Structure 1
Amino acid sequence: MEGQPDTEPRNQDQMDSEKEHAEDEWKSWQRGQVRNTLHLVSAAAQWILLLACLIYLGIDSLQPSTVRSDKVLWTHIRYTGQSIKGVAVNLTAERGSIQIRNGSIMITCDGLYLVSLKGRIIFTDLEENLLKLTLWKTYKTTSEVLWEQTVRDSSNTVNLTTVLFLFDQNNVTLQTSSNVTIADLTFSLVLLGPFVCSV
């Protein structure tokens, strides 16, 4: 009977040790389940994304009404002259493959366009010392401002370099809010892609 009290604490220690071991195994199993669930969700998301890309590419390749052009579309304009308040500046292309009609740049392909605009504004009316130079996008009867800069007499330079997404059949024009002289204006528009051109 004297040996019995020694076995009880050992049994208790053994049971506590087994309980801790079982709890550690349970926690490890739960972490493994969470990890497996995250892997499963990640794999499912990747498959869904891959399927969406394949569907997009398939639909894009099945559209017969559009053709992709290998020709780079661009225009480069130099202009010095008078502008009339609220009337499109009469731009004409110096070089390039994008057409300009009645001062409007005619967009024939959807896509990203690199736009660069630099020049000087000379105020012809001494009372006027402020104007807004605006780049407009027109589609049929609706117009939208693409870019606008306020020019003051003290800082009369214009400098814009940006990327714009333009659509087929948009017309791009440049207008001023007062009668001024525009000097040494260079205006370039280059289609970067990806693009789809109308037939």
Structure 2
Amino acid sequence: MEGKPEAEPRAGEQMHCEREPEEDECKPWPGGQVGNTLHLVSAVAQWILLLACLIYLGIDFLRPSASQSDKVLWTHIRYTGRSIKGVAVNLTAELGPIQIRNGSIVIPCDGLYLVSLKSSIYLEEEDWLKLTLRGTHKTSSSALWEQIVQSSDSTVNLTTVLYLFQKDSITLWTNSNASISDLSFSLVLMTDNKC
């Protein structure tokens, strides 16, 4: 019975064909429909697990790390008000972990700090004003930055890097009465020093 075709597979069985170089013969695949279902369930479970891992990593990546933000020391100050001749401007922190005590920014540790200051100054009594950023180290005080304002409505801009020491304090002074508007002052520790 060489000319007769092989028996048809029974219901629920699939044919699993393997090609040999010399003969072409098909064998029933063990497990049949149950094997297909298991493979499908396994593939779906793997895709769901992969998707869950990607979502977890994405959420973890997008969420700001508390330990990372604790490492960066910074402060941001906004101020609008009057300055009085010979008296430090009473700064208060709007945001950030660096402390401000009695209007002075207290430096938490040694390092390079990025300093940014922008404000509008309106002169009240005199034709000019000297705006000074002073640093106090223990008992001595020195000017870190100064700018002369000569017109009644001037904009002051400062962006610089300063090396400051732990327990120093930073204050802003004017040598005459003036109105300060929209003062924005930022201080950010740029080096990774342990305090």
TM-score with structure 2 length normalisation? Answer: 0.63
Does the 8 Å contact 2:115/2:161 carry over to 1?
yes
In structure 2, the partner of 1:89 is 89
CA contact (8 A) 2:111 2:190 kept: yes
Q: Which aligned pairs between 1:43-62 and structure 2 lie closer than 5 A?
A: none
Q: Which has the higher contact order (CA 8 A, sep 6+)?
A: 1
More helix by share: 1
Give the structure 1 partner of residue 136 of structure 2. Answer: 138
Q: Give me the whole-angstrom Cα distance separating, in 1, the residues matched to 2:102 and 2:96.
A: 16
Aligned residues: 127
Counterpart CA distance in 1 for 2:98 and 2:129 is 28
Alignment of 1:79-118 (within 5 A): 79-118=79-118
SS in 2 for 1:80: strand
Spell out structure 1 runs of 4+ moving beyond 3 A.
none
2: CA distance, partners of 1:86 / 1:163: 26
Larger radius of gyration: 2
2:165 alignment counterpart? 167
- Provide the residue aligned with 2:181 in structure 1: 183
TM-score, reference length from structure 1: 0.61
Q: Distance in 2 between matches of 1:137 and 1:184?
A: 22
Q: Which runs of 5+ in 1 are unaligned?
A: 1-68
- 151-160 or 96-105, larger mean C-alpha shift: 151-160
Query: Does the CA-based 8 Å contact 2:116-2:187 persist in structure 1?
Result: yes
Alignment of 1:2-81 (within 5 A): 71-81=71-81
**Residue pair 2:123, 2:152 contacting (<8 A) in 1 also:** no
Q: In percent, how many aligned pairs have the same letter?
A: 68
Cα separation, 1, equivalents of 2:174 and 2:100: 18
Give me the whole-angstrom Cα distance separating, in 2, the residues matched to 1:167 and 1:77. Answer: 20
Q: How far did 1:102 drift?
A: 0.6
- 1:56-112 CA distances to partner (integer Å, 9 max, x unpaired)? xxxxxxxxxxxxx96210000000000111111000000000000111000011000
Within 2, Cα distance between the matches of 1:154 and 1:91?
23
